Amino acid sequence: MSLTSVITTCKTVLGNRKLAVGSLCLGIWLAAAGPSALAQVYRWVDAEGVTHLSSEKPPPGVKAERIDIPGASKRSSSTANRSSGSAGSTAAPASPAQVAQREELLGSLRTRECVVALEALERKTSGAEPTGAAEIHRLKQTAELNCSQDPVRRREQEAMAAKLRVANSPACVAARNQLADMMAPGAAPNREQLRTQQAFVDEHCTSPVR
């Protein structure tokens, strides 16, 4: 049952009492939708190596990782590998807070895939690394699927990709290695040098995505 049809039915019964319509209709829709529609995020990789993320189940026969929203499932494990044709969960319907958590998680996962793809695409198309047409196509498809269509958010993601390029650069690799050496047992760096090195790594060489 769609949310639109539920609201139409509720309005017919309750008239213009907006508060009652909102609370009752949301409760009915949550119960009808169930945990499979609201409590999980699905992640899978297609035959071309493109990562897909969705709140909807993948096509039949496609094996996907299911990421449950914390507290939305009665199962003890938070993730499970299964095909889309597997038996459904017996978990209670997701709450509005869990729906919001799901959307936040989905957005975070999509941003990560977008930023990693944009950074790799720039690096490979610039000639910094050998690549092929299939890999370029895969990265472009991944970016198209996961990057935001909103211009402001897309610029933010591109800025994150630029920061990731710097964090992955040889200079930052060397800076992180130097910091590790300074903090190794037996090392006795000057406190100001250690503070300066740590500040440089934190500002320039920390990945914007995990």
Task: Specify whether 143 is located in the same domain as 180.
Answer: no
Task: Give the pLDDT confidence score for residue 4 in this predicted structure.
Answer: 44
Task: Specify whether 79 is located in the same domain as 180.
Answer: no
**Quick check: 22 pLDDT over 60?**
no
| C-alpha distance across the termini of the chain, in Å | 37
More confident residue, 96 or 39: 96
Residue at token pair 């710097």: 166
Distance CA 145, CA 116 (A): 13
Task: Specify whether 25 is located in the same domain as 96.
Answer: no
| pLDDT 10s digits, 98-144 | 888 888 989 999 999 999 999 999 988 887 778 899 999 999 999 99
Query: ∠83-78-161 over CA atoms, to 5°?
Result: 85
Give domain status of residue 128, yes or no.
Answer: yes
More confident residue, 30 or 184: 184
Residue 146: domain span: 39-166
Average pLDDT over the chain reads 77
Task: Specify whether 56 is located in the same domain as 116.
Answer: yes
Task: Specify whether 84 is located in the same domain as 150.
Answer: yes
Domains in the chain, number? 3
Task: Give the pLDDT confidence score for residue 78 in this predicted structure.
Answer: 38
Task: Specify whether 75 is located in the same domain as 21.
Answer: no
Task: Specify whether 149 is located in the same domain as 54.
Answer: yes
Task: Specify whether 184 is located in the same domain as 110.
Answer: no
For the ranges 87-91, 95-99, 199-203, the one whose mean pLDDT is highest: 199-203
Q: Residue 95: name the closest of 77, 79, 67, 71 by CA.
A: 71
Give mean pLDDT, residues 163-182. 93
Give domain status of residue 209, yes or no.
Answer: no
Task: Give the pLDDT confidence score for residue 21 in this predicted structure.
Answer: 40
Task: Specify whether 108 is located in the same domain as 129.
Answer: yes
More confident residue, 61 or 147: 147
Task: Specify whether 75 is located in the same domain as 151.
Answer: yes
Give domain status of residue 29, yes or no.
Answer: yes
Q: Which of 12-21, 58-67, 145-154, 177-186 has the lowest mean pLDDT?
A: 12-21
Task: Give the pLDDT confidence score for residue 158 in this predicted structure.
Answer: 96
Task: Specify whether 146 is located in the same domain as 55.
Answer: yes
Give domain status of residue 116, yes or no.
Answer: yes
Task: Specify whether 104 is located in the same domain as 3.
Answer: no
Give domain status of residue 210, yes or no.
Answer: no
